[in-house]
Each structure stands twice: as structure tokens, then as C-alpha cells.
């Protein structure tokens, strides 16, 4: 309740600028390497070439939306094999469960594009404008030539990174060298420029200006993760039982000397000593900052550290620190990992046993059968044959059924169908039953279509029915 002496808080509040200070240490080094690794994958992947023969693209990773194909090195996925993508998404979901149960918001802190690009943008900011104190001074200074020069330089570099980010994205959807030439000469499709423009804008605004606001207000993950963690999940935390009561060096009873190093390096602008909070992305930079300080004043490291909620009780009771492995190897994590690995193994097995051609068959429903002038019954089917290789192939069609039904392919005198490389063709197929056959007078009789590759003799079948006239 607000009393008359304290004015009620405003309904809307401006963003508090955050000036993360430079820090060095184990986690900072790890994050630099991870940034190099993830950005490297993102920017360079479209440029890797992979020879698939003349009629297929030679880009290693390509989402070919126009032809509905997904290429990943030696793997080619067709739309009917989308379950591979679904499987990967399920693995990604289970992977998030696993890592959240084990390490809390480790995705947020290390691998989320919002974190990685913000980190890169802050690095640029530091190169151009200087470290924390210089940046604070610059913010407070008047808009003179120096401030304009530094700000404009920073914005231009940010913009270039943003354009490169949006630009790299579109290369995943088209042949990269061709598209780059088209983009440069103004011949690329409008959708390419539009996508680059949108991605440039979002990268610039999210990485340069919104930063922690995206994590705190726009992202659902901070809310979801609460349901996935438990008291054994490792999180960046402050050992307040060791640090409190805090105070100036030499006067404090606890280990915390209130130097604010952990607050100054925080990209989210929070104080980790307030406990677990929704804004914290567990980037672990405060661990580095605090460890450096503890080393200087000769205290043990780990005042801020990865620890679990369950550690607090133990450590307050004077027990030794529980090893990380005990937090990792527990039933919940093992179940998540088993499920994750199981789906992975199934996907890999399916990838290697799948056929490089596929056949499917749809009986004509309208009409289900046609009576011919000699009284025999004909059924028509739409046979779809997909040739998932880079070379043209031929397939022999045959059937197996109770009655010796006659098979005929529309417009062909033979029972072979040629399918060009990387294509799906539709072939109309007829089955004839003489009036005396059982199938001619039965509601439905089973028929098995055999499709045989003529050179390798690889076979596959499709089961269907023959509809007769029961009148």
C-alpha cells in the first residue's frame, strides 16, 4: 500500500542503461570460443560445397523451398520424410529439458543467438567507446563532435554486422555464390532483400538497443524454465551463507567485500547477490569477476559459483561441497538423456535403412470401378514414384493378387516406368478383372503392387484393394 508520503510508482519506466565491464577468466574464455564457434557455423556453413552430381545443387547445407528439398551434406530429405525434422525438433526439445534440469538456463547464457550477438555488440561497443567507466562518462557528456564520432562509428559497425547476419540467413535458402552475385548486382528476388532488411533491423535493434529487455520481457523461456528446474539443478548463485554479512575489506565478517565487481560485469544489469531472479541468463561472468577479486584478497574462489539450491542446506550445516557429478548423474537427467539418445539412434538407423526411391498408390474413388462393355471390371490407381537420386532410373511394376488380374499402365505398352533424377511422377495404372473372377463381384479384394528398380532389383511394395461390382 502506498501512503501519502511515498508517491505511487510510475506506470511506465525507461530502460536503465547497462554498461557491462570487461572481465577475464575461465568462463569468459569459454564464451569467446563458443561465440567464435557458433558464429563461425552460422556465417560459413552456406559456403561449404558438396558434390552431388550434375542435376543436384552442390551446396552442403541448403533448404531448397522451391523444389521442396532439404540438403545436409550426404543427406537429402524430401517432404514425405519430414519426420526426420520432427525427430530433430523433439531431440532439441528433450535436449533443452536435459540441459535445463542439469544446468538451468545454460542455453540462455551461452548459446542463445540473443546472448551471442549481444555479446558481440558489447565487444564492439567496448572497442569503440572504451570500458564501463568511459561509456558512462560518454553517456553523460554533451552531444559534441567526439560523442557523435564514437556513436556513429559504433552504429555503423553494428549495422554492418546486422547486414551480414541477415545476409548469411538467405544463403541457406539458395545457392550462396549465385545469390551473392545477384544481391550485389540488384538482380536477386525481392523476398531476399526483404528478408535481409527484416533480419538486419531485428539484429540491430535486439543486439544493440533492446538487449536484456528481450530476455526479460519478450522471451517465454525465463518463465518456462522454472517448471523444468529442481533443487538439484546447477545455477549461477551467490553463496550468501559464506559472503554475508558483507562489508568493506577488513571490516566484513563475510567474504563479500561489496566491491560490486559482479554487478558491474553483468550484461543483464542485476545483482546476483539478490538470489535467483528471472532476469539472470546464467552467463557466469559474475563468477569470473568474483573469483578474480577473491584471488586478490586471498580468499577461496567460488563465492559466486555454479551451485544447486540443495547445496545451501548442506553447506550451511558444514558438509563438504557436493561434486558436480553428483548433480549431473541423477535419475531425472539419466531419463532425459536416455530418451534423447533413443530418438537419436532411431533417427540414424532410419536414415541408413531408408530407400532412395519411394512408391505410393491412391485408388480412384470416383468412380471406384468402371464396368466395361464385355462386363469386366476395371479399377484405376494413381501411382506416384519418387526417384531420390541424382540419376534417372526405371522401375518395373507388377502385382500379386488372388485372381490373375491384368495390369496396364496408361499410355504405355510395357510395365516399366522411367523416373527422371530427383523427381516424382504420377502414373495412371489400371487393373482389369474378367466377369468370372471373384474380385469382379466382391466389395474389395487385396492387391499388392510390387515396384522393382530395374538395375539394382531393389523392391518395395504397396498394398491396396480392388473394388468390384456387388450389384
Partner 1 sequence: MKKQKLTDEDYPTTGHVWDGIREYDKPMPRWWLITLYLTIIWGIGYTIAYPAWPLISGATPGLLGYSTRGEVAEEISAVNALNADIEAKLLATPMEDVAADPDLARFASAGGSAVFRTYCAQCHGSGAQGFKGYPNLQDDDWLWGGDLTALETTIRHGIRFETDDDTRYSEMPKFGEILEHEEIEHLTDYVLSLGSKDHDTISAEHGAALFAENCTDCHGENGEGDREQGAPKLADALWLFSSDREEVTKTITFSRFGVMPAWQGRISEAQIKQVTFYVHQLGGGE
- Rank residues 131 and 271 by Cβ distance to partner 1 and give the closer one: 271
C-alpha cell, 42: 552460422
What's the burial of 385, exposed, middle or buried (CB within 10 Å: 0-12/13-18/19+)?
Answer: buried
Binding of residue 14 to partner 1 (CB under 8 A): yes
How far apart CA 283 and CA 235 sit, in angstroms, is: 10
* Structural contact between residues 432 and 467, judged by C-beta atoms closer than 8 angstroms: no
Q: Give yes or no for residue 1 binding partner 1 (CB under 8 A).
A: yes
Among 5, 323, 366, 455, binds partner 1 (CB under 8 A): 366
Which of 116, 210, 234, 236 touches partner 1 by CB under 8 A?
A: 210
Q: Which stretch binds partner 1 (CB under 8 A): 47-55, 115-123, 189-197, 365-373?
A: 365-373
**How far apart are CB 428 and partner 1 at their closest, in Å?**
7
C-alpha cell at 136: 558512462
Which residue's C-alpha cell is 551461452?
Answer: 110
What H or E segment, with its residue span, contains residue 448?
strand 445-453
Helices (H), 72-208: 83-103, 106, 113-129, 132-140, 145-171, 176-185, 190-204
Q: Using an 8 Å Cβ cutoff, are 297 and 249 in contact?
A: yes
Name which of 302 and 435 has its Cβ closer to partner 1.
435
* Residue 318 lies near partner 1 (rule: CB under 8 A): no
Q: Is there binding between residue 11 and partner 1 (CB under 8 A)?
A: yes
Binding mask 397-426 for partner 1 (x = CB under 8 A): -------------xx---------------
Our finding on whether 3 is near partner 1 (CB under 8 A) is no
Torsion sign, CA atoms 314, 320, 323, 324: positive
* Number of residues counted as binding partner 1 (CB under 8 A): 31
Q: Of 34-42, 241-249, 314-322, 375-383, which part binds partner 1 (CB under 8 A)?
A: 375-383
**Does 140 interact with partner 1 (rule: CB under 8 A)?**
no
CA distance 251 to 303: 18
Using CB under 8 A as the binding rule, whether residue 375 contacts partner 1 is answered as: yes
Burial class (CB in 10 A: 0-12, 13-18, 19+), 69: middle
Query: For helices 190-204 and 145-171, what crossing angle results, to 10°?
Result: 130
Minimum separation from the CB atom of position 88 to partner 1 (A): 34
Site string for partner 1, 215-244 (x = CB under 8 A): --x---------------------------
- Which residue in 352, 365, 413, 414 binds partner 1 (CB under 8 A)? 365
Q: Which is nearer to partner 1, 312 or 382 (CB)?
A: 382
273 lines the binding site for partner 1 (CB under 8 A): no
Binding mask 430-469 for partner 1 (x = CB under 8 A): x----x----------------------------------
CA distances from 246 to 241, 249, 390, 432 (A): 10, 9, 70, 92
Going from the C-alpha of 466 to that of each of 362, 378, 416, the distances in angstroms are: 11, 9, 21
Q: Which three cell numbers stand for residue 64?
A: 531448397
Q: Strands 393-401 and 75-77, how do they pair?
A: unpaired
Show Cβ contacts of residue 142 under 8 Å, excluding neighbours closer than 6 positions: none
Per CB under 8 A, 354 contacts partner 1:
no
Q: Which of 145, 125, 52 has its CA nearest to residue 422?
A: 52
Instruction: Write down the least CB distance from residue 440 to partner 1, Å.
Output: 11
Q: Which listed range, 8-16, 111-119, 196-204, 440-448, lies at the site for partner 1 (CB under 8 A)?
A: 8-16
The cell for 466 is 480392388
Out of 132, 332, 396, 428, name the contact with partner 1 by CB under 8 A: 428
The contact mask relative to partner 1 for 15-44 (x = CB under 8 A, - = no) is: x-----------------------------
Residues making up the chain, counted from first to last: 471
Q: How far is the CB of 378 from partner 1 (least distance, A)?
A: 7
Identify the DSSP state of 143.
S
Closest approach, Cβ 462 to partner 1, in A, equals 20
Which residues contribute to the site for partner 1 (CB under 8 A)? 1-2, 6, 8-15, 210, 213, 217, 364-367, 370-375, 378, 380, 410-411, 428, 430, 435
Amino acid at each position: 500500500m502506498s501512503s501519502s508520503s511515498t508517491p505511487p510508482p510510475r506506470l511506465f519506466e525507461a530502460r536503465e542503461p547497462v554498461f557491462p565491464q570487461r572481465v577475464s577468466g575461465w568462463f569468459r574464455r569459454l564464451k569467446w570460443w563458443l561465440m567464435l564457434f557458433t558464429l563461425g557455423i552460422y556465417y560459413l556453413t552456406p559456403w561449404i560445397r558438396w558434390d552431388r552430381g550434375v542435376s543436384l545443387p552442390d551446396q552442403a547445407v541448403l533448404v531448397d523451398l522451391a523444389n521442396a528439398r532439404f540438403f545436409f551434406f550426404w543427406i537429402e530429405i524430401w517432404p514425405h520424410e519430414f519426420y526426420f525434422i520432427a525427430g530433430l525438433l523433439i531431440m532439441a526439445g528433450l535436449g533443452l529439458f536435459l540441459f535445463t534440469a542439469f544446468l538451468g538456463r545454460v542455453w540462455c547464457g551461452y548459446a542463445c543467438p540473443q546472448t551471442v550477438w549481444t555479446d558481440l555488440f558489447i565487444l564492439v561497443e567496448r572497442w569503440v567507446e572504451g570500458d564501463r567507466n568511459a561509456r558512462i562518462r560518454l553517456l553523460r557528456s554533451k552531444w559534441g563532435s567526439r560523442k557523435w564520432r564514437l556513436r556513429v562509428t559504433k552504429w555503423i559497425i553494428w549495422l554492418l554486422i546486422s547486414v551480414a547476419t541477415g545476409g548469411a540467413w538467405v544463403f541457406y535458402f539458395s545457392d550462396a555464390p549465385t545469390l551473392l552475385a545477384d544481391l550485389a548486382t540488384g538482380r536477386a528476388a525481392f523476398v531476399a532483400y526483404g528478408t535481409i532488411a527484416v533480419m538486419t533491423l531485428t539484429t540491430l535493434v535486439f543486439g544493440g538497443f533492446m538487449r536484456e529487455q528481450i530476455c526479460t520481457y519478450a522471451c517465454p523461456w525465463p518463465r518456462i524454465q522454472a517448471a523444468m528446474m529442481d533443487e538439484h539443478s546447477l545455477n549461477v548463485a551467490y553463496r550468501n551463507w559464506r559472503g554475508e554479512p558483507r562489508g568493506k575489506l577488513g571490516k566484513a565478517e563475510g567474504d563479500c567485500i561489496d566491491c560490486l565487481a559482479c554487478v558491474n560485469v553483468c550484461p543483464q544489469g542485476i545483482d546476483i547477490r539478490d538470489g535467483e531472479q528471472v532476469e539472470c541468463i546464467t552467463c557466469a561472468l559474475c563468477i569470473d569477476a568474483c573469483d578474480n577479486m577473491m584471488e586478490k584478497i586471498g580468499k577461496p574462489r567460488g563465492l559466486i559459483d555454479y551451485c544447486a539450491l540443495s547445496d545451501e542446506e548442506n553447506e550451511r550445516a558444514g558438509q563438504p561441497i557436493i561434486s558436480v557429478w553428483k548433480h549431473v548423474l541423477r535419475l531425472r537427467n539419466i531419463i532425459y538423456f536416455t530418451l534423447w539418445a533413443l530418438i537419436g539412434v532411431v533417427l540414424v538407423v532410419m536414415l541408413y535403412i531408408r530407400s532412395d526411391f519411394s512408391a505410393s498408390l491412391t485408388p480412384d474413388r470416383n468412380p471406384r470401378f468402371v464396368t466395361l462393355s464385355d462386363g469386366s471390371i476395371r479399377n484405376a490407381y494413381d501411382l506416384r514414384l519418387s526417384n531420390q537420386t541424382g540419376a534417372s532410373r526405371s522401375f518395373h511394376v507388377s502385382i500379386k493378387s488372388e485372381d490373375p488380374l491384368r495390369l496396364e499402365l496408361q499410355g504405355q505398352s510395357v510395365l516399366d516406368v522411367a523416373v527422371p533424377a530427383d523427381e516424382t511422377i504420377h502414373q495412371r495404372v489400371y487393373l482389369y478383372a474378367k466377369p468370372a473372377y471373384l474380385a469382379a463381384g466382391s466389395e474389395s479384394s487385396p492387391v499388392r503392387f510390387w515396384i522393382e528398380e530395374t538395375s539394382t532389383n531393389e523392391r518395395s511394395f504397396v498394398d491396396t484393394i480392388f473394388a468390384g461390382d456387388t450389384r
